[in-house]
Structure 1
Amino acid sequence: MTFRTLMIKTHRVLGTLVSIFFVAWFLSAFVMIYHGFPKFSSDEAHRLHPSLPNFSPSDSLLAGMEAMRTHSPEGKPSSLSLSYNPVVGHHLATSGGGEEHWFTLEGKAITPEAPTVEVCHRVAALWSDKIERIDTLTTLDQWTPFSRLREDLPFYRLNLSQQGREVYLSGRDGHIITEHTRSERVWAWLGAIPHWVYFTWIRENRDLWENLIIFFSGLGSLMTLTGLYIGIDVFVRTRKSKRGVHSPYKRRSYRWHHIMGTLGGIFILVWVFSGLMSLADIPKSINGSPKQNAREVLGEQALPLGSYSKNLISQILSRGDVRSLRWSSVGNIPTIKAADSLGQTTCYDARTDFPTPLSLERPQLEQLIGRIYTGHTWQIDRLEEYDGYYISRNGSLPLPVWRIQIEAEDNPYIYVHSQSGMVRTLDRRDRWQMWVYNKPHSLKFTWLVDKPILWQIVCWVLLLVGTVVSVTGVILGVRYLRRSLKPKSKR
């Protein structure tokens, strides 16, 4: 058997097995451009939840915060927030040592409990709606297929009267797990579910889900590679004919598959392989053994409570329309973030008694980085536009932003937004991940993301090519099966 014959047989067998999955992936990708998997976002929570009451004076609240020290190592919780929950109303929440704790505004510990019927009606009222039926779910379902949610079972599914809306409440503490309307579910069935293989019996078992994605993506990559070889080889063999380089196939399905597969083969190969790499574990050795971890040092964690101004909270709340507060930081600089009903967050410098929006200037950043990376050199630039690694198609990452490049072993890129206090750190391993997955799979290139219409046009053209190749591949696979299963006539 020649190498060419081996490639042809391999492509036919793999194409017959995998082409139908490619059709589903490409068609669902069109929908994924506009619709994702339904979820209950923090922005929606801020829009629906009532405003925080004004604590004036805020001594009782501060006393409650102090009472939480016993639940956080060294009095330093990894997170601290003041928000709303339909079960307990406005409350303080903190985490530390891998556990989350809730407290009343006076600092009394709250024991999580299942939502009552009254609470369920309170949740429905957030959407100005009423409940038609309440279902109790004891297993994960299509809209909660993630194994991490098992600790919240049983779920209470509220079927509301408008738009086919369903709201899932945790049976553990009553928080809203997810929410979706009828139209969102339809789009999910056409997009996210087939594209990400979010079928409950598969996705609830993470190992099974990952192995299936890797297996079919691997087969698809090999199928595309063999097809690309065959397509080029056929064109090369026709170059000396009277017609010159052309597709010799007379059947339309063969000719389209050959031409489009050869022209779009590189895109299809990169797209499928990058999907496989979305689950790949980039070796930690790429980072070496850094002495500092920018993500841990600069992460937006809550500092010890004594770092924050005691009079600032009531001043912020007196401005009205505050839906949540979060105690945060930029390095050793304490901040308090207040979110309003529009989902917009204002970050305040918590070292002052009067609400002063945070504004980090270059000298402050240099001083902060100097404390963390002693003995290292760095470069600071102010970005007015997205660069190759700090990039967002929907504009969720704010601009302008400071970019700090550290000459350390893991070579971290640190992005700091001076007004929001947002810190985004990307070490060498993170940047590798972007090149093997995010950029080739979602076309996250600056020259495209900056032009949304062009980005959509390019996506549509490439996906159409992939769809044509996949559909014709299914047709050829069916014909191959018929020939293989057809009894051979005896001579």
Structure 2
Amino acid sequence: MGRFETITRAPGAKSGSWRGAVKACNRWLYWGHRWLGIVTCLLCVMWFLSGLVMLYVPFPSWSDAERLTHLPRVAIERVFVTPDDAFAASGAKALPQTFRLEMLADEPVYRVVAGGKISSISAVTGQPVGPVDAEQARRHVVAVFPGTQPKLIEALGYDQWTVARRFDAHRPLYKLTLDDGLGTIVYVSSKTGEIVQNATRNERFWNWLGAVPHWIYFSPIRKDQELWRQAVMWLSGPLVIGAIAGFWIGILRLRVRQPYAQARVTPYRGWMKWHHVGGLAGGLFLTTWIASGWLSVNPFSLFARTQFSDAQRVAYAGWSEGQPFGVTLAALRAAGDERPTEISFVRIGGEPRLLAKRNDSTVMVEPESGSLAVIADAELIAAARRALPAADMVRADRLTEEDLYWYSHHRKRPLPILKVEFDDPSATWLFIDPATAGIVAVSDRSARVYRWLFNFLHDYDLPILLRNQPARDILVWVLSIAGLVVSVSGIVVGWRVLARRIS
């Protein structure tokens, strides 16, 4: 009989224990959301407001477009050193990532970046240039910004606008101010004398309200790359958990078929009502937006990126150590007829070329005769195939319009562009600019997944929205306001809970 009773009571006992477990889980769910929310809603408000600022004021940068616009025309008549002699004087052995001719104040110089080393060689004497002193830096700034009287503020290692690792090769930096009425400050490399960063007063002010708090870009943290990455990851990670918990609680407390008293779908009033209804309306956006922000630092290396190796660069260029560029002074003179602010030297498929650049204009020139040159798509595709010899090419397309993976957002991307797809394990795509013959982007399967999980969910950067402003701005404002309603109401509710606990 005892055995029978045990058997008949077991289902009820199990049912009761299951209900008890559910209640316990719900208590932890409510408790966790409440205390996570008290802390994280403050961060959410900061991130939403700073994100709106970033719609209109990006982080300061001295872009290639600015450099090409502001640099004086290359004084080609003063160039007496060939690119091959300059490259030899630099001591570089590897294929250069950058090899160009431009002006340093009133002197034409070759800039060489190769094998992790950066150097400048005078195109007049063939001697290395640098390190430069403060007066040389000031004279170069005058040449780039004529009509100004720059003044040296200090020589420094780091500050708020130069914390990124790309400035490391140029430190210490000369910081100068311009009397241009915009409160512009410029940073000049002590190694090469070139301008590497600039920021106006307006940019600096709005970035303290925009990118700096949004990216947790405070210099004591940001100058340590791994510390900054961990800070962003562990600040935003708990927000994801809190947002998911809140969204689930909002669904649990919603009643549509059997509403609460007075036909209400929510049991709450006042600020709690705003928090509940706002969370239901904007909870999905809030959760995906925070989660995509968390993904911005690639937490736990979730997305393994394909790196275009030095060996692949060499194979694409068709270059071997000691191989000359073969550029004559006559060809340089011909390129100078285009009045460029920069002349770059590249190789493609074993053949050297000159690129005369000015503003948005790029002209390709033959290295010996100086006549205009054009590289056919077939040559670029052949070079791309040599860079990935173990893979088969799937397709090659010349894009004349932007698409979901090639579009302009934070920076202008060139068109037309040649996209070459391969069937390697990473499903690599190479984007090649026909105007320069350079590989301007590498995309793999992981990067394309990341494009949707981060770029789309965080920036809403669909090309159709970007081309039809202010459509994207309106969408981001509406979604951000929904997120602010949830976050601000959460702060008020959380503060009241804390006040009751303290009292």
Q: Secondary structure at the match of 1:235?
A: coil
Query: Residue 400 of structure 1: which of 391, 411, 416 is its match?
Result: 416
| Alignment partners' CA distance in 2, 1:165 and 1:150 | 22
| Alignment partners' CA distance in 2, 1:131 and 1:476 | 55
Contact 2:427–2:445 under 8 Å retained in 1: yes
Query: Residue 19 of structure 1: which of 41, 44, 50 is its match?
Result: 41
Correspondence for 1:417: 433
Change (3 A) 1:167 1:75: closer
| Alignment partners' CA distance in 2, 1:76 and 1:139 | 29
Query: Residue 468 of structure 2: which of 420, 440, 451 is its match?
Result: 451
Structure 1 regions of 5+ residues with no counterpart?
487-491
Correspondence for 1:437: 454
Q: Does 1:29 align with 2:51?
A: yes
Q: Which amino acid aligns with 1:246?
A: V
Equivalent positions of 1:168-179 (< 5 A) are 168-179=187-198
Q: Does 1:273 align with 2:295?
A: no
Change (3 A) 1:174 1:215: same
> How many angstroms does 1:168 deviate by?
2.5
Q: What's the TM-score, normalizing by structure 1?
A: 0.86
Contact 1:410–1:427 under 8 Å retained in 2: yes
| Alignment partners' CA distance in 2, 1:134 and 1:395 | 30
> How many angstroms does 1:482 deviate by?
0.7
Change (3 A) 1:302 1:141: farther
Structure 2 regions of 5+ residues with no counterpart?
1-22
Q: Does 1:45 align with 2:64?
A: no
Aligned positions, number: 476
Q: Does 1:233 align with 2:233?
A: no
Q: Secondary structure at the match of 1:388?
A: coil
The answer to which of 293-302 and 407-416 deviates more is 293-302
Per-residue displacement from partner, 1:383-405 (whole Å, max 9, x unpaired)? Answer: 23222222222671222322222
Correspondence for 1:120: 138
Q: What's the TM-score, normalizing by structure 2?
A: 0.84
Change (3 A) 1:109 1:345: same
Correspondence for 2:500: 483
Correspondence for 1:313: 332
Contact 1:378–1:407 under 8 Å retained in 2: yes
Correspondence for 1:61: 81
Equivalent positions of 1:258-337 (< 5 A) are 258-280=276-298, 282=301, 297-298=315-316, 306-310=324-328, 311-320=330-339, 322-337=340-355
| Alignment partners' CA distance in 1, 2:90 and 2:308 | 31
Per-residue displacement from partner, 1:411-466 (whole Å, max 9, x unpaired)? Answer: 11122232343422212232233233222211232443343332222111111111
Contact 2:100–2:112 under 8 Å retained in 1: yes
Correspondence for 2:28: 6
| Alignment partners' CA distance in 2, 1:462 and 1:85 | 48
* Bigger Cα Rg: 2
Correspondence for 1:389: 405
Q: Which structure's relative contact order is higher, taking Cα pairs within 8 Å and 6+ residues apart?
A: 1
Q: Which amino acid aligns with 1:481?
A: L
Correspondence for 1:367: 382
| Alignment partners' CA distance in 2, 1:404 and 1:131 | 49
Q: Which amino acid aligns with 1:265?
A: G
Q: Which amino acid aligns with 1:61?
A: V
| Alignment partners' CA distance in 2, 1:154 and 1:438 | 34
Q: Which amino acid aligns with 1:476?
A: V
| Alignment partners' CA distance in 1, 2:319 and 2:287 | 41
The answer to which of 448-457 and 407-416 deviates more is 448-457
> How many angstroms does 1:206 deviate by?
2.1
Correspondence for 2:118: 100
Contact 2:155–2:175 under 8 Å retained in 1: yes
Give the percent of matched residue pairs that are identical in Structure 1 and Structure 2: 24
Change (3 A) 1:72 1:451: farther
> How many angstroms does 1:219 deviate by?
0.9
Query: Residue 465 of structure 1: which of 482, 489, 493 is its match?
Result: 482
| Alignment partners' CA distance in 2, 1:438 and 1:7 | 30
Q: Does 1:134 align with 2:149?
A: no
Contact 1:302–1:327 under 8 Å retained in 2: no
| Alignment partners' CA distance in 2, 1:394 and 1:471 | 29
